[in-house]
Amino acid sequence: MSEANPAAEYAASIIVPTYNEEGNVAELISRVSGALAGVNAELIIVDDSSDETPVIARALAPSAGIAVTVIHRDEAEGGLGGAVVTGIRAARSGVCIVMDGDLQHPPEKIPELLARYAQGDADVVVASRYTGGGTAHGLSDQVRVAVSKLSTMVTKAMFPVRLRECTDPMTGFFLVNKNAIDWESLKPRGFKILLEVLARQPLRVTEIPFDFQDRHAGESKASFTQGLRFLTQLTQLRFGRMSIFALIGGLGAVANVVIMAVLTGWDVPYVWAAIVASVLTIVGNFLLIELFVFRDMKAAAGPMWLRFAKSFAFNAIEAIVRIAALYVVVETWHVSSVLATAVLLAIAFVVRYVFHSLVVYKPRRDGATQTGL
Instruction: Write the pLDDT tens digit of every residue in 246-283.
Output: 788 788 888 988 998 999 999 888 888 888 888 898 88
Q: Which CATH number fits domain 12-222: 3.90.1640.10, 3.90.550.10, 3.40.190.10, 3.40.30.10?
A: 3.90.550.10
Segment 10-68, tens digit of pLDDT = 999 999 999 889 989 999 999 999 999 999 999 999 999 988 999 999 999 999 999 99
Which residues touch 344 (CB under 8 Å, ≥6 apart)? 322, 325, 326, 329
Task: For residue range 130-177, list pLDDT tens digits in order.
Answer: 887 777 765 555 666 676 677 777 777 667 667 778 888 888 899 999
pLDDT for position 371: 34
Contact 2, 30 (CB under 8 A): no
Higher pLDDT, 209 or 229: 209
How many Å apart are CA 206 and CA 166, to the nearest integer?
7
Q: What is the pLDDT of residue 63?
A: 92
Strand ranges (DSSP E) for 95-173? Answer: 95-98, 124-128
What are the angstrom distances between the C-alpha of 247 and each of 235, 236, 354? 9, 10, 15
Instruction: From 348, 352, 326, 328, select the one nearest 339 (Cα to Cα).
Output: 326
**Which residues in the chain are classed under CATH 3.90.550.10?**
12-222
Q: For 295-354, write each residue's pLDDT tens digit.
A: 777 877 888 889 999 988 988 888 788 889 888 988 888 888 888 888 887 777 767 777
Listed residue (84, 64, 91, 76) closest to 16, CA to CA: 84
What pTM did the predictor assign? 0.62
